[in-house]
Amino acid sequence: MTREEKNKVIDELNAQLVENKNFYLTDIAGLNAASNSDLRRLCYKSNVQIQVIKNTLLRKAMEKNDVDFAQMYDSLKGNTAIMFAESNNAPAKIIKEFRKKEDKPLLKSAFIEESFYFGDDQVEVLCSLKSKDELIGEIITLLQSPPKTVISSLQSAGGQLSGILKTLSERSE
What is the pTM for the complete model shown? 0.72
pLDDT in tens, 37-79: 999 999 999 899 999 989 999 899 888 888 888 888 888 888 8
Give CA–CA dist 75/26, Å, rounded: 9
In the predicted structure, residue 158 carries a pLDDT above the cut 70: no
> Does the structure show a pLDDT above 70 at 151?
no
Residues in the chain, overall count: 173
Please say whether the beta carbons of 117 and 109 come within 8 A. Answer: yes
pLDDT band at 25 (very low <50, low <70, confident <90, very high): very high
pLDDT in tens, 81-102: 999 988 888 898 999 898 888 8
How many Cβ atoms are within 10 Å of 44's Cβ, its own excluded? 11
pLDDT at 149: 67
What pLDDT score does 44 carry?
A: 92
